[in-house]
Amino acid sequence: MSKTLIRGAKVLGGEPQDVLIDGGIIAEVGAGLSAEGAEVVEAAGKVLLPGLVDLHTHLREPGREDSETVLTGTRAAASGGYTAVFAMANTFPVADTAGVVEQVYRLGQEHGYCDVQPIGAVTVGLEGRKLAELGAMHESAAGVTVFSDDGKCVDDAVIMRRALEYVKAFGGVVAQHAQEPRLTEGAQMNEGVVSAELGLGGWPAVAEESIIARDVLLAEHVGSRVHICHLSTAGSVEIVRWAKSRGIDVTAEVTPHHLLLTDELVRTYNPVYKVNPPLRTERDVLALREALADGTIDIVATDHAPHPHEDKDCEWAAAAMGMVGLETALSVVQETMVDTGLLTWAGVAERMSAKPAEIGQAKGHGRPVSAGEPANLTLVDTAYRGSVDPAGFASRSRNTPYEGRELPGRVTHTWLRGKATLVDGKLT
């Protein structure tokens, strides 16, 4: 494999350095490296990060290839600076057997834009009644370590307890979509001032918080680890903070959209803002930013949820929930966390690469930018400003809440094991 010299990039936002990639490995990091025999990427002023890792992506294949496929989804990931994504299990058929997870894993490897690590369902068919074959999925070629019924909550306390206990045998983790089902029957948006006025069914914060409280206690009781998906309320932050202070092995993620958008946007009745968990209030947004900065929330995960146009071009109640996010995540994090002074680029690398890779045990990802490490890298033009144009998305779906909105930063290059998947903003 040919050599690449990334010249003068601010590694993790620090002093400019040269980074030499050779044969899929970072060969050297230092000042004034020789460009001999190497393709040179001039990176002055840009920030070099380890390739981003998304612990929460919906690739839709198999079953909903009209909204996304492993190919289009991983191309979107590479565009957004990702080198690994964890694919959620709510496909058709559900990823609850070794066969399905191996298929998804294999497609990721074949396409070569980004490593795809399938997440296995916790229960058969996401139905919450019977544990799926967690061990078989772990032992499959996909090597599943993260299990989730995302889209649905594992609401039965006994099933959740058993899942937490069972995955200890192979160091797995259960990622919980925290949503008390009875408290969210008919829920359409955050329950509060705006829902009262709009007459839309409320999704109360306590529906999330009560499940998180239960699950951290269960994790403590059985001595396992639990991961909380897309945490969205100030109260959830408090519970996770308390659990961590007590020594409970819990990690949590926040989505970019919950760091930026509020339920005030629902006043437009535009279903592009319909997402689960719903957009919350400004108070929640500020609490989430603070929690991500202080480490209470460990990582940013996109919850990239592609939907075809017709599933969003309708009245609010009929619309599907979710937004695409892979291609805008880093820009939103820059706007909400870096440009506000809450987080350094090294902090972004920790929360969008190192830590998600660690939680999901994605080998070779989230590593330091230093000699001898796999060359999974992302180069970001942080000075760029431009408005979001979904027409240019690599994702098959366009359901972004940021259309026409100006966001900072742009990923210009992505390397997966030394091979460029994105060059000057264009997919290879």
Partner 1 sequence: MQRHLISAADLTRDDAVLILDTAEEMARVADRPIKKLPTLRGRTVVNLFFEDSTRTRISFEAAEKRLSADVINFTAKGSSVSKGESLKDTAQTLEAMGVDAVVIRHGASGAPYRLATSGWIDAHVINAGDGTHQHPTQALLDAFTMRRRLVGRDAGIGRDLDGRRITIVGDVLHSRVARSNVDLLHTLGAEVTLVAPPTLVPVGVETWPCEVSYDLDAVLPKSDAVMMLRVQRERMNAAFFPTEREYSRRYGLDGDRMARMPEHAIVMHPGPMVRGMEITAEVADSDRCTVVEQVANGVSIRMAVLYLLLGGNEPAVTHTRPPVAHHPSDERSAHTPFTAEEK
Residues forming the site for partner 1 (CB under 8 A): 188, 191-200, 202, 204, 268-270, 310-311, 313-319
Q: Tell me the C-alpha distance between 149 and 165, whole Å.
A: 16
For residue 318, the minimal CB distance to partner 1 (Å) is 3
Of 96, 215, 303, 311, the active-site residue reads 303
User: For the chain, first and last CA: distance in Å?
Assistant: 16
In the complex, the smallest distance separating the C-beta of residue 91 from partner 1, rounded to whole angstroms, is 21
CA 377 to mean position of chain CA atoms: 17
Provide, rounded to whole angstroms, the least separation between the CB of residue 191 and partner 1. 5
Q: How far is the CB of 355 from partner 1 (least distance, A)?
A: 35
Measure the CA–CA gap between 371 and 362, rounded to whole angstroms.
19
Active site residue 96: no
Written in H, E and C, the secondary structure of 275-297 is: CCCCCCCHHHHHHHHHHHHHCCC
Tokens representing 104 are 């998804």
Of 235, 274, 272, nearest to 403 by C-alpha is: 272
Residue number with CB closer to partner 1 (191 or 350): 191
Under 8 Å between Cβ of 86 and 360: yes
Q: How far apart are CA 405 and CA 403, in angstroms?
A: 5
Q: Give the shortest CB-193-to-partner 1 separation in angstroms.
A: 4
Q: Which CB sits closer to partner 1, 140 or 195?
A: 195
DSSP state of 207: H
Question: To the nearest whole angstrom, how small is the minimum distance from the Cβ of residue 198 to partner 1?
Answer: 6
Kindly give, in sequence order, each residue whose CB lies less than 8 Å from that of residue 98, ignoring residues fewer than 6 positions away: 133, 136, 137, 139, 140, 142
With residue 343 as reference, give the H or E element that holds it.
none
Q: Name the residue nearer to partner 1 (CB basis): 172 or 235.
A: 235
The interaxial angle of helices 282-294 and 234-245, nearest 10 deg, is: 30
Nearer to partner 1, 191 or 303 (CB): 191
CB of 317 to partner 1, least distance (A): 4
Q: Which is nearer to partner 1, 6 or 234 (CB)?
A: 234
Nearer to partner 1, 137 or 207 (CB): 207
Quick one: 139 or 197, whose CB is closer to partner 1?
197
Decide: 380 and 341 in contact? Cβ < 8 Å.
no
Q: Rounded to the nearest whole angstrom, what is the least distance from the CB of residue 201 to partner 1 in the complex? A: 8
In 3-state terms, what secondary structure has residue 173?
strand
Helix axes 157-166, 205-222, angle to 10 degrees: 40
Q: Which is nearer to partner 1, 37 or 199 (CB)?
A: 199
Pairwise CA distance, residues 350 & 366, whole Å = 8
Write b or e for each residue in 6-31: b if 16 or more Cβ atoms lie within 10 A of its Cβ, otherwise e. Answer: bbbbbbbbeeebbbbbbebbbbbbee
DSSP for 91-141 reads: SSS-S-SHHHHHHHHHHHHHH-SSEEEEPBPSBGGG-SSSB--HHHHHHST
> Is the bond preceding residue 277 a cis peptide, omega within 30 degrees?
yes
Write out the catalytic residue numbers.
303
